[in-house]
Chains A and B, each alone.
Chain A
Amino acid sequence: MLSITEVWEYELEGLKLGGVFSWPLPVFVTLCGGAACLPAWRRLGFFSLAMGMAVAVWNAFPATGNHVYLECFLCLICALLDPVRSAEQQLLTRSVRWIGCVIMFFAGVQKLVHGYYTNGLMPSYLFQEPRFGRIFGWLLPASEAQRLHSYNGLDGSGPYLVSAPALLLASNAVWIFEIALAVALFVASTRRAAVFAGIVFVVLVESGAREIMFGVLFVSVLLMFLSTDANRFFVPIAAVVCVIVLLTQLGWLPVELH
């Protein structure tokens, strides 16, 4: 469902930017998605869907969103394994859980190694963007906010370094939380709490970043860590989000997603 929405959204975005709508890929992935829902066609459907998503990766390369690679990989796993068989279902669940841990871990590590979070530079630079400004504005004193607003982000502007303790704390909390969450999701005793903390974190991050499709996909991955089949209840929510995304791309809803 997410992959289908992703491809339609990409084509609609291109149309909005003055390009032409290319029908073959959206129709192909929609048919593959339909086939993947039918027991007899499930594996072929998922394999074809993975191929369709590989084309989507290629079409948008190098600007391809990371979640498109993820969708492609997950579709391949779904094509390989048969969840009707208990052993393979277990394998599928474990694989998706491992993938979730890897993503969270490297998201935190990358933030640490590039050096824009330990000193609060990244949030203070993002502050210039209205969607982030609304969030980080709470963490900055008025004088600091005014100073950051006066920069244009071009050569010679700055310094973006800030001394506001709340912003520095939040900036460091992000990468620490991501790495800690990867570990907490891995350890069985902390898994349940980590899932809920992770969902809250994703919702908070996406309220600024607005990477809606990544957010929905990752919440779904997080729900795989629960012993109950929580994704069954998440499907209708994800479906509503997908419809909202597509209606917004069509200009039928007055919402700004990106």
Chain B
Amino acid sequence: MTLARKQQVLTAGLIGFTLWPLAQMELVHRFGISPWKLAGWGMYATPRISPGLAILVQEGDQPPAPMPTVPPEVRVACQRLQRKRLWLRDLAPPDEVGRLVLASKREYRRVTVILLQPVLDTTSGMVRTEEKAYDYNR
């Protein structure tokens, strides 16, 4: 490869390297992903607080209720989701958890996975929890 060609390749790479953090910041803004990750160089820009989750199940005409017993495979999927969700937020929907819960009992007609994301409010300085519900129907 000639020097000029190498220069072109390198320039393209460096332009990508320079512009990528702007794209990452847009992902942070749009999907709530963590500024810490994905090479946007925003380490320690925001507090990192692990998300929680709740699972509500609905049998027949009964109202939604917390899942009475959580099978091990659902528990493992929840832990995996929490780890992903910490960094990817809305880019990590709980589809796998919803599918596994529906598959765990034939009587479940509907599953709601509620993701609880604590955030430190920049105005009040208080920790508050943002909730996002995902519904899965049989």
| CB-defined contacts of A109 to chain B, threshold 8 Å | 21
Complex interface: stretch among A5-13, A29-37, A80-88, A133-141: A80-88
Which A residues from 98 to 127 make CB contacts under 8 A with B?
98-99, 102-103, 106-107, 109-111, 113-117, 119, 121-122, 124-126
Report the Cα distance A63→B87, complex, angstroms: 7
A106-B42 CB under 8 A given contacts A99-B14, A158-B125, A160-B125: yes
Complex interface: stretch among A19-27, A69-77, A187-195, A231-239: A69-77
Count of residues in B whose CB is under 8 Å from the partner chain: 43
Q: How many A-B residue pairs have CB under 8 A?
A: 131
**Would you call A209 an interface residue if the criterion is a C-beta within 8 Å of the partner chain's C-beta atoms?**
yes
**Would you call B13 an interface residue if the criterion is a C-beta within 8 Å of the partner chain's C-beta atoms?**
yes
Most chain-B Cβ atoms within 10 A of its Cβ — which of A62, A95, A121, A151? A62
Q: Is the interface of A mostly helix, strand, loop or mixed?
A: helix
**Would you call A211 an interface residue if the criterion is a C-beta within 8 Å of the partner chain's C-beta atoms?**
yes
Q: Which positions in A face B, CB cutoff 8 Å?
A: 62-64, 66, 69-70, 73, 76-77, 80-81, 85, 87-88, 91, 95, 98-99, 102-103, 106-107, 109-111, 113-117, 119, 121-122, 124-126, 151, 153-161, 209, 211, 214
26 A-B pairs with C-beta separation under 8 A? A62-B84, A62-B88, A63-B37, A63-B86, A66-B41, A69-B39, A70-B39, A73-B13, A87-B3, A91-B6, A98-B14, A106-B41, A109-B21, A110-B21, A110-B40, A110-B42, A111-B45, A114-B42, A115-B122, A116-B47, A116-B122, A117-B45, A154-B127, A155-B128, A160-B120, A211-B43
